[in-house]
Amino acid sequence: MGEQELLDAVDSLVGPGGQELVCGRSGHPAGHICLPVSDAIDLSTLLKAFSRRYGQLRNLAMGGYADPTVTERTGLPLLAPFAGELVEMRGWASGSRWIGCGVVRAGDGEQLVALVAEGAAPSPDAPPRDTAQPWAEIAAEVGTELPEDGSTWVQRVIESTGWKPLGLSVDWAAIEGELGVALPADYKELCEAFGGGVFSECVYFLGRDQGVSFNFLTQWRLSLSVDQDNRYGDISAVEPYAVYAPGGKGVVTWGSTEWADEYCWLIDAERPGDHPVLARSHDGGPWHRYAMSTSEFLYRVLADADFPPFGIAQYDLGATFEPGSDGPFDARPL
């Protein structure tokens, strides 16, 4: 299929009354359909075409590694048919279905693929979708310096989860040297106390982790590599920004949720010490900017029932922490 024919085919599959998704490729599971792609089309062209039509893309696999936090509700059906073959995969949600395009290993080379897959029902714990225009930015919400009881926000997070701090030793000089900027002091305290892992079974925290899944620096390197790869055009997963590169200005992700909310900083190398939190909900809507510390934002997500659209306390999930839990693909090479 050429570009327009492919777009028309995808439109018909994700529209009301779209046909049952049954793939004709040998060995592929039910619940999706792979679409033939002309050799004259490249991935960059498809990324631009799908993003113009379906909005913000989601990076599901980058450089042969799957996003460790991806679930049935956030794009896993696009990865399942290609286990062991995937190099790259980007996804877009459209109604009850997922649209994907990427690159898979094929013999001694690589092949461009496009598919439509069934999506899981929305999580009952997922906050309501934000109906504002995508790629906008909502004005900053200002936090407070310290909790009223005199404790720190890091202590609040520790106490709310009942966690015993690990007291990890981290070479921050090496990490910050590679980034070219200092990281927030309270984020470093969180890393030393928790490492990396999952809060309340749904909030993923990137910190210091021996593996790939919850290792902050490894995930930043992967995101930057994809963002700067000219083979995939100029479409960024963090539009209208770019992934932060040393000496520049951009977004660095430090957390996310099971339903694909994203928690980041907007970092500017020319403004050291300034780390506003940027957060975006699961539907790829506008970025929300928070002039508060990382630990205050995390605490409010976990414990403040009046913290829309990101607070989860109202769903009675409990405040817990599980270190280094692995995602469905364990972030291993695909």
For the chain, what's the residue count?
A: 334
pLDDT over 70 at 138, yes or no: no
Cβ proximity of 16 and 96 under 8 Å: no
* Span 297-319, average pLDDT: 90
Cα maximum dimension of the chain = 64
Structure tokens at 97: 């279905």
Q: What is the DSSP string of 239-261?
A: TTS-B--TTSEEEEEEEEETT--
Could you give the C-alpha distances from 198 to 120, 195, 204, 256, in angstroms and in order? 21, 10, 5, 10
pLDDT at 184: 96
* pLDDT band of 125, cuts 50, 70, 90: low
* pLDDT band of 16, cuts 50, 70, 90: confident
Residues 6+ apart with CB under 8 A from 39: none
State the amino acid at position 272 in one-letter form. P
**What letters, b where the CB count within 10 A reaches 16 and e where it falls short, cover 107-116?**
eeeeebbbbb
pLDDT over 70 at 118, yes or no: yes
The pTM of the full predicted model, rounded to 2 decimals, is 0.70
* pLDDT band of 48, cuts 50, 70, 90: confident
Cβ proximity of 196 and 207 under 8 Å: yes
Q: Three-state SS for 124? A: coil
- What percentage of the chain reaches a pLDDT higher than 90? 46
* pLDDT band of 134, cuts 50, 70, 90: very low
Q: pLDDT tens-digit profile of 210-267?
A: 667 788 998 898 888 878 876 656 677 788 899 999 999 999 999 988 877 889 999 9
Cβ proximity of 44 and 233 under 8 Å: yes
pLDDT at 137: 57
Cβ proximity of 161 and 322 under 8 Å: no
